[in-house]
Amino acid sequence: MTAKLKPDWAGEDLLSRLVNVLIQTKPIYALMKQQARQVLIKTAEKNGVPWRQTVQEFEASAVQHRLAAITQPEITYPDYYRVPFHAYDAGNLCWLAAFEAEPATHAMALRIWPDETLTWQTAQARLRASFHEILAAHGPQQVSDILDLGCSVGISALTLHQFYTKQQNRPVQTVGLDLSPYMLAVAQERDINQSIRWVHGKAEQTGFPDQSFDLVTLQFLIHELPRTASRAVFQEVLRVLRPGGCIAIVDNNPKSAVIQKLPAVLFTLMKSTEPWSDDYYTFDVESTLQSVGFSDVKTLESDPRHRTILANKPTSSV
C-alpha cells in the first residue's frame, strides 16, 4: 500500500479530468470501448481463459429459457445502472455481458499477480481464498444465512457457500442477489447442484425481512455504484443483518500501489468502461459504514489490488 489515498487518474485531479474529456468525446469513446474489449479478450485468451468458447457454449445452451422465470417484472432499474458498463451499451442488462462475465472474472484474477505464471484456475482460487481467509480470521464465527449482493454469474456466491459449508461442516443457506436477470440466468445454469437461491432484486431494497442474515457480502459491487447508492445499500444491509452480523466488502483498493501505477493506456481503458470509477475511488467507505450505524470497521489488504472491509451490526443500540 502507498501513503497516497487514491490514484491520480481518479477523482478531480488534472490527469483524471483529462482522461474524462477523452471519454466524453463520443467518437474517441467509441474507439476506446472497442479497443478495451479487444485488448481484454486477446490478453485473456493468450493466458488460457477460454473466452469466446465460453460465450459459444452459453449461446448453444438452454440458458436463455431461464430468463422469464427469474425476472421480477416489478423491478425498476435505477438510472445509474442503465448506462453503458464494461463496453456493453446495455450495461449488465444483456446476454453478451452475462456470457462474458465468467471469462472476464477469470481474466481479472490473472491481472492481480502479473509477475507470476498462474493458471486462471489458480488465480481465481487465490483471489477467493484471500477474501475467505480474512472472513475466517476476522468475520463471524457462526454463519447460517448468507447473502451475496451483486452476485453476477455466481462465482462469488458459489465459492463463499462452499467455503462455509466446508469450514463449518454443516449446511448453510446462501442467497445470491443481482439486478441483472441475465446474470442470474447464467448463475442458475452454472449452479449444477442448485445449492443457492438466486434472486432478482436491488441491493438497496432487497425485500428480505429484518434480521435475516449473519453475513452479507458485496464482492466487487460498490465500484459499480455511485456513493449515494452504496450508502443506501449499507443501510439496507444493516436492516437485514442479525445483531452481531457482519458486512464484508471486497473491491479495488484505492491505496494499492499496483492500481495507482497502472499504465496510462490501462487506466484510460478501465475508466472508459467503469462509469462510477471517480466516485468510487474518492468515496470514504469506512466512515460511511460508521455513519449508517456499523461498528468495528476494519480494512485489510486482501491481495495486491484489493481491500476487504469488514464491519458489524451492533448487538444492541445505545
Nearer to ligand SAM (CB atom), residue 256 or residue 273: 273
Distance in Å, CB of 156 to ligand SAM, minimum: 3
We find the least distance from the C-beta atom of residue 232 to ligand SAM, in angstroms, to be 9
Q: Minimum distance between the CB of residue 57 and ligand SAM, rounded to whole angstroms?
A: 19
- Closer to ligand SAM by Cβ: residue 231 or 313: 231
We find the least distance from the C-beta atom of residue 97 to ligand SAM, in angstroms, to be: 8
Contact 112, 72 (CB under 8 A): no
Q: Which H helix or E strand runs over 301?
A: strand 295-301
- Secondary structure E strands in 99-152: 145-149
Q: How far is CA 76 from CA 64, 201, 202, in A?
A: 21, 9, 9
Residue 289 exposed, middle or buried by CB count within 10 Å (0-12, 13-18, 19+): buried
| Residue numbers at the binding site for ligand SAM (CB under 6 A) | 81, 92, 105, 149-152, 155-156, 177-180, 183, 202-204, 219-221, 224-225, 229
CB closer to ligand SAM out of 216 and 225 = 225
- Nearest distance in Å: CB 123, ligand SAM: 13
Q: Which is nearer to ligand SAM, 10 or 229 (CB)?
A: 229
Reading phi first (left if > 0) and then psi (alpha if -120 to 50, else beta), residue 169 is in left
Task: Between 112 and 221, name the residue whose CB sits nearer to ligand SAM.
Answer: 221
- Closer residue to ligand SAM, CB minimum distance, 177 or 289: 177
Least distance in angstroms from the C-beta of 183 to ligand SAM: 4
User: Nearest residue to ligand SAM, using CB?
Assistant: 150
Is the CB of 21 or the CB of 192 nearer to ligand SAM? Answer: 192
Q: Give the contacts of 269 (CB within 8 A, at least 6 positions apart).
A: 32, 35, 36, 39
- Mention every residue, 6+ apart, whose C-beta is less than 8 A from residue 216: 146, 147, 148, 149, 237, 240, 241, 245, 246, 247, 248
Task: Report the residue number, 37 or 314, with the smaller CB distance to ligand SAM.
Answer: 37
- Report how far residue 77's alpha carbon sits from residue 83's, in angstroms, rounded to the nearest whole number: 11
Three-class DSSP category at 303: coil
* Residue of 303, 301, 318 lying closest to 124 (CA atoms): 303
Nearer to ligand SAM, 140 or 150 (CB): 150
Q: How far is the CB of 229 from ligand SAM (least distance, A)?
A: 6
Torsion angle defined by CA atoms of residues 264, 267, 272 and 276, in that order, rounded to the nearest 10 degrees: -140
What is the C-alpha separation between 201 and 41, in angstroms, rounded? 30
CB of 145 to ligand SAM, least distance (A): 18
Is residue 310 within 8 Å of residue 139, measured between CB atoms? Answer: yes
- Tell me the closest approach of the beta carbon of residue 25 to ligand SAM, in angstroms: 26
User: Measured between alpha carbons, how far is 123 from 161 in angstroms, rounded to an integer?
Assistant: 19
The residues facing 152 across adjacent strands are: none
